[in-house]
Amino acid sequence: MLITIAASEGLTDSGLSIALDVLRAANAIYQRTQGGSAPFRVSVASRDGRPVTLASGLQIAGLRSDRQCARSELWLVPGAWAETNSEVERWLAGREFGRLAHTLERAAGRGAKLYGSCTGVYAIAATGILDGLEATTSWWLTKPFLRAFPKVKLDPRQALIAHRRVATAGAVFAQADLALHLVRTALGPNIGSLVTRYLLLDEHPAQASYMALTQIQADDPLLRRAEVHLRRHLPRLRGVPELAKAIGASPRTLARRTEAALGLSPGRWLRRLRVEEAARQLQTTTTSIADIAEDVGLGSAATLRRELRRELGRSPRELRLASSRGSGSGSGRRRSH
């Protein structure tokens, strides 16, 4: 299979390297276990084969051009580094994004599959191939995506959503999930499992439990002040009027700004912060569910369970099990009172 990894300015270093390492490992494992030639022929391409500067400032050269990769059967599109909505907006308006979207549109027209993660999903969406389909991208960059591509059924809680001709993945390290999905669909589950084990990769069935529900892409200084106050006074904060007074704003101004930046009411934002802190404590301590609920201001264990299910789609037990698997131990740190 001919695969091209699309390289553009500001590309995440790990997005490129993860894809290369997974595909290289798949080739090696396939040849050792099955014999024959390497199943994947991988190229990295940029506009006219020019060097590309990655997000870290490192420059990569020796690339192929888009035209040289015209016969590729699959294009893999890692994301560019973006921390805020405004950075995404600038990238969407830039020449580099237009070039990448045009390249992918031509590739799709020739029948190539398109796989993308993080902001790479934006470039795929610009081709129209995702219209009417479910897709995912980095959970903290959903707002500009929804504005730019309203026909796509975006579900940022998912780490990977795959269709016949297109697959999308979430934040930067979901690139590993995307590459492993490619390996499994092309070479079978056994090779995919071997690659996972050799590279010590963990797959992410969903992004939901990783989501920092405060939506950190907000550029509004008022909301940054509000977040600092919320985190410091979360257990004792009685409600939105108290928060507004503490940061020197009216409740109406606070409501307008949170809705504009986060798409949330102040009350919903406060609840989500409480859930975020509760999830952190569940995964890092052995404190009882009832004590955690009281500590974050949710009142009761029943309320905590309900809010976790609503916001994260998971129970306290599921969060603790996932945490113990990740650490290799069932033990946790007990918080002293």
Task: Give the total number of structural domains in the chain.
Answer: 2
Tell whether 23 and 104 lie within a shared domain.
Answer: yes
Which residues sit opposite 206 in a β-bridge? 158
Tell whether 276 and 194 lie within a shared domain.
Answer: no
Tokens of 30: 């396939």
Tell whether 128 and 247 lie within a shared domain.
Answer: no
Query: How far apart, in whole angstroms, are the C-alpha atoms of residue 123 and residue 14?
Result: 18
Q: Indicate whether 113 belongs to any domain.
A: yes
Tens-of-pLDDT digits for all 337 residues of the chain? 999 999 988 888 998 999 999 999 999 999 999 888 999 999 999 988 999 999 899 999 999 999 999 999 999 999 888 877 778 888 888 888 888 999 999 999 999 999 999 889 999 999 999 999 999 988 777 888 888 999 999 988 788 899 999 999 987 778 888 999 999 999 998 898 889 888 877 655 555 555 444 444 456 788 888 888 888 888 888 888 999 999 999 999 999 988 877 777 888 888 888 888 888 888 888 899 999 999 988 989 999 999 988 887 788 888 887 656 544 433 333 333 3
Q: Indicate whether 309 belongs to any domain.
A: yes
- 158 DSSP 8-state letter: B
Which of 156, 172, 207 is the C-terminal boundary of a domain?
Answer: 207
Q: Indicate whether 24 belongs to any domain.
A: yes
Helix extents (H) in the chain: 13-34, 85-93, 95-109, 120-125, 142-148, 174-187, 189-198, 221-233, 240-246, 251-262, 266-284, 289-295, 301-312, 316-327
Domain with 22 in it: 2-207
pLDDT of residue 322: 66
Which of 173, 207, 241 is the C-terminal boundary of a domain?
Answer: 207
Cβ neighbours of 144 (radius 10 Å): 21
Q: Indicate whether 76 belongs to any domain.
A: yes
Tell whether 228 and 81 lie within a shared domain.
Answer: no
pLDDT of residue 189: 86
Q: Indicate whether 21 belongs to any domain.
A: yes
Provide the 3-class DSSP secondary structure of residue 110: coil
Tell whether 43 and 149 lie within a shared domain.
Answer: yes
Tell whether 199 and 269 lie within a shared domain.
Answer: no
**CATH at 292:** 1.10.10.60
Place of tokens 């052995």: 286
**CATH at 194:** 3.40.50.880
> Phi and psi at residue 53, in whole multiples of 5°?
-95, 120
Tell whether 175 and 35 lie within a shared domain.
Answer: yes
Tell whether 110 and 12 lie within a shared domain.
Answer: yes
Tell whether 165 and 91 lie within a shared domain.
Answer: yes
Question: With contact defined as beta carbons under 8 Å apart, do 145 and 137 qualify?
Answer: yes
Which of 207, 238, 267 is the C-terminal boundary of a domain?
Answer: 207
Query: Which of 34-47 are b and which e, b meaning 16 or more Cβ less than 10 Å from the residue's Cβ?
Result: eeeeebbebebbbb
Tell whether 108 and 9 lie within a shared domain.
Answer: yes
Q: Indicate whether 70 belongs to any domain.
A: yes
Query: How far apart, in whole angstroms, are the C-alpha atoms of residue 117 and residue 77?
Result: 6
Q: Which residues contact 62 (CB under 8 A, 6 or more apart)?
A: none
Query: How far apart, in whole angstroms, are the C-alpha atoms of residue 152 and residue 316?
Result: 32
Question: With contact defined as beta carbons under 8 Å apart, do 29 and 198 qualify?
Answer: yes
Q: Indicate whether 254 belongs to any domain.
A: yes
Tell whether 164 and 72 lie within a shared domain.
Answer: yes
pLDDT of residue 269: 84
Q: Indicate whether 214 belongs to any domain.
A: no
Tell whether 46 and 173 lie within a shared domain.
Answer: yes
